[in-house]
Amino acid sequence: ITSGTNTWTVSGNIDFTGGTYTASQGAGENLLVMNGTGGKTITGNSQSLRNFSVDPTSSDTITLTGSDLTVARNITIGSNDTLSIGSGRTITYSGATDIIWGNASSTISGSGKLTITDASSGPGIDGTLSTNVRFDATNASIVAGTIDARTYGGTVEFFSNSTSSRTATLAT
């Protein structure tokens, strides 16, 4: 699937298994919006999205299952909505902006892991973050402003798979 540079809205489940998703860059920067209700799922198959929005038509949960997913630009969680990361699954976020939270009841939860890379601006201070979070300094140090001063409801891990010295600077 080549997404183009517009919005792709899906009200059902998404399963990228057995396929390749090409996230086009350019004007409009493509956006995948999951707006279905009734506990919809996304199976990432280690695909990379540019922008990902969880915004069901009513308060609901979208769950990452089956395999991992990378988001390179923006994650948006709609008001009163939840992105749940399933057990053993990881969403890697490298966006240059904070995660966009619809309101204080917007949530990222689950027993999986949200990995925030050195290129990311961090999770931000809004919404509820109750999943496990890994700050990954493999490619570079984690600068101030990426590790936001907020409540983390799960395990927080600082990680580097580099032989070079790395630092992680906490927000003050």
Residue 151 burial by Cβ neighbours in a 10 Å radius (0-12, 13-18, 19+): exposed
So what's the pLDDT on residue 6? 79
So what's the pLDDT on residue 27? 53
So what's the pLDDT on residue 24? 67
Question: Is 135 within 8 Å of 112 (Cβ atoms)?
Answer: no
So what's the pLDDT on residue 26? 61
Token pair 């580097």 in the structure block, residue:
160
User: What one-character-per-residue DSSP string does 59-115 give?
Assistant: S-EEEE-SS-EEEEEEEEE-TT-EEEE-TT-EEEE--SSPPEESSTT-EEESSSEEE
> Which residues of the chain fall below pLDDT 50?
none
